[in-house]
Amino acid sequence: MDLYVTRMKKIVLSLLPLYIFSTFTLADENLETEAVQLLQAYLQVDTTNPPGNESRAVNFLAKIFDEEGIQYNSAESAPGRGNIWARIKGGNKPAIILLHHSDVVPANEEYWDFDPLSGEIVDGYIQGRGALDMKGLGISHLANFLRLHRLNKELNRDVIFIAAADEESGGKYGMGWLIENRPEAFEGAALLLNEGGSGYRSKDGITFSVEVTQKIPVWLRLNSVDQPGHGSSPRTTSSVSRIVEALNIIWNSPFDPRIIPEVEKVFADRSESLDEPFKSKYKNIKSSIQDPVFMKELQEVSPSSHALTRNTCSLTRMNGSIKINVVPPTAWAEIDCRILPDNKPEEFIAKIKDLIKHTEVEVEPLMIGFPGSSPIDSELYLTIERFIKSNYPGSKLSPTVSTGFTDSRFSRGIGIASYGFNTYIYEGNESSGIHGNNEQINEKRFRQSVGDLSLILDDVVYD
Ligand SMILES: [Zn+2]
């Protein structure tokens, strides 16, 4: 009897890898072709932000939903700033959201070799602003959403598609507005896929990154007031001298380095591809940050890695007099601070106020993000991990921390485990097109990414 059970166990166990493998091998060529055509058309919709005009994207998507018989909702947060969302009903498990932003950053045509609104395919690349950031991923979401609707198979959870406005200018008219004004769009959701991570093929193989948390933006304006006068007769202080002093203090008071667990993992992963002495320094990042020489080197070699080790402030804007010989009554500056995701923005602002107190410069918050990070043991993260192990054996998967921000900070703020992940695999310096010139996506690898996403989603939405 015992022997029989052991044998049965062996058979079941030997079938298990096959089973896991088979759950991730069903791609649909027609779907991929449809996705390519949809992306070409979506790239031709001008949603350059500013001004945005995302209602054009809403019209584009609404037409597709109408044709498919999919119910949807849409709302403008301001004239022309449209948002659209749709839901396919499923079982009781917590819903999953496929989120993308429909706006794109401006393109300086002078430096482009093709029309940023072209959507044409040339030499195997689909061309246009937004191909990578992030209409490509948006269409991958859409194609898969349409597919789930058409299959009409019982889902174990609701699947929600959202195209939000305004991400490129901070999300105030997009996700920020939706969460405040249309909370029903997020009802029952606990998982979310968004931009922020992807695959990358280097000479050492493929590395996939899943963004699980990000630094919190704290954008501040410093305002000062003092006696105005003639430029020929300076007083002991002025509105401008106060601002300059405050900026000096902030610039010369680096915040203490501190390593959060997510960042420790990022450095450990990166250490593997480095040579000594950086290899050991990265591996032991918690002790390395005590060494000021290393910290200076790190900032010189990789400002973005350095920014993961502490809170930062970049001095970015300032304004004084409109005339060279007039001492102005007021002056201001703006600073772009980013704090670690476990910090409290209010406490950080209080610290800044305290630092510059004696200058009498006032601190005005302009935009504050939400703290939050997503666990690496959720159903979605584990599915991504299993998929990569099974379909890209030998490749690496790392959770990452972003120094920038995405709309995920809004969804993390309401407790939705949000992951920055695109199945697209970058090669070479392709990503330089993001916010840069000649943005384009490789057609073959885009097709693959659409198919790969469908395999991951199937695993999450079907029992
Ligand atoms: Zn983006």
| Long-range contact set of residues 137-140: C-beta below 8 Å, sequence gap at least 24 | 137/100, 137/195, 137/422, 137/424, 138/42, 138/100, 138/101, 138/102, 138/163, 139/35, 139/38, 139/39, 139/42, 139/450, 140/35, 140/422, 140/423, 140/424, 140/446, 140/449, 140/450, 140/453
Residue 254 is predicted with a pLDDT of: 83
For residue 194, the CA-to-ligand 1 centroid distance in Å is 9
For residue 170, the CA-to-ligand 1 centroid distance in Å is 11
For residue 183, the CA-to-ligand 1 centroid distance in Å is 22
Q: Find the DSSP H helices in 402-442.
A: 408-413
For residue 187, the CA-to-ligand 1 centroid distance in Å is 24
For residue 455, the CA-to-ligand 1 centroid distance in Å is 23
For residue 195, the CA-to-ligand 1 centroid distance in Å is 6
Cα-Cα-Cα-Cα dihedral sign, residues 451, 458, 58, 403? negative
For residue 405, the CA-to-ligand 1 centroid distance in Å is 9
At 369, the pLDDT band (50, 70, 90 cuts) reads: confident
HSE (CB half, 13 Å, CA atoms) of 241? 11
For residue 17, the CA-to-ligand 1 centroid distance in Å is 36
Q: Are 75 and 58 in contact (CB under 8 A)?
A: no
Going by DSSP bridges, is the β-strand pair 205-214/229-230 parallel, antiparallel, or unpaired?
Answer: unpaired
Distance separating alpha carbons of residues 24 and 451, to the nearest angstrom? 10
For residue 245, the CA-to-ligand 1 centroid distance in Å is 36
For residue 140, the CA-to-ligand 1 centroid distance in Å is 14
Q: What is the pLDDT of residues 227-283, one digit of tens each?
A: 999 999 999 999 999 999 999 999 998 899 999 998 999 999 889 889 999 999 999
For residue 99, the CA-to-ligand 1 centroid distance in Å is 11
For residue 133, the CA-to-ligand 1 centroid distance in Å is 4
For residue 413, the CA-to-ligand 1 centroid distance in Å is 18
For residue 158, the CA-to-ligand 1 centroid distance in Å is 25
For residue 337, the CA-to-ligand 1 centroid distance in Å is 20
| Boundaries of every domain in the chain | 2-196+406-461, 257-310
Q: What is the pLDDT of residues 354-367, one digit of tens each?
A: 999 999 999 999 99
Nearest to 315 by CA among 243, 224, 225, 242: 243
Going by DSSP bridges, is the β-strand pair 396-402/205-214 parallel, antiparallel, or unpaired?
Answer: parallel
Q: What is the percentage of the chain residues whose pLDDT exceeds 90?
A: 88
Asked if residue 1 has pLDDT above 50, the reply is no
Q: What is the pLDDT of residues 81-124, one digit of tens each?
A: 999 999 999 999 999 999 999 999 999 999 999 999 999 999 99
pTM, rounded to two decimals:
0.84
For residue 445, the CA-to-ligand 1 centroid distance in Å is 19
For residue 88, the CA-to-ligand 1 centroid distance in Å is 25
DSSP 322-350: SSTTEE-SEEEEEEEEEE-TTS-HHHHHH
Residue 408: Cβ within 10 Å count: 29
For residue 382, the CA-to-ligand 1 centroid distance in Å is 24
Q: Are 398 and 262 in contact (CB under 8 A)?
A: no
Q: Which two tokens stand for residue 176?
A: 């920020």
| Long-range contact set of residues 263-267: C-beta below 8 Å, sequence gap at least 24 | 263/308, 263/309, 263/340, 263/401, 265/398, 265/399, 266/308, 266/398, 266/399, 266/400, 266/401, 267/305, 267/308
In which region does residue 158 sit, left (phi positive, over 0), alpha (psi from -120 to 50) or beta (all else)?
Answer: beta
Name the phi and psi angles at 443, rounded to 5: -65, -45
For residue 162, the CA-to-ligand 1 centroid distance in Å is 14
Residue 372 is predicted with a pLDDT of: 87
For residue 423, the CA-to-ligand 1 centroid distance in Å is 15
At 195, the pLDDT band (50, 70, 90 cuts) reads: very high
Return all residues near 8 (Cβ < 8 A) that are at least 6 apart.
none
Residue 17 is predicted with a pLDDT of: 42
What's the Cα-to-Cα distance from 240 to each of 335, 358, 378, 431, rounded to whole Å?
Answer: 15, 15, 51, 40
For residue 167, the CA-to-ligand 1 centroid distance in Å is 7
Average pLDDT, the chain: 93
Instruction: Please tell me what DSSP assigns to residue 369.
Output: -
For residue 47, the CA-to-ligand 1 centroid distance in Å is 13
Architecture of the domain whose range is 2-196+406-461: 3-Layer(aba) Sandwich (3.40)
* 3-class SS of residue 434: coil
At 370, the pLDDT band (50, 70, 90 cuts) reads: confident
Cα-Cα-Cα-Cα dihedral sign, residues 432, 435, 438, 440? positive
For residue 294, the CA-to-ligand 1 centroid distance in Å is 32
For residue 210, the CA-to-ligand 1 centroid distance in Å is 15
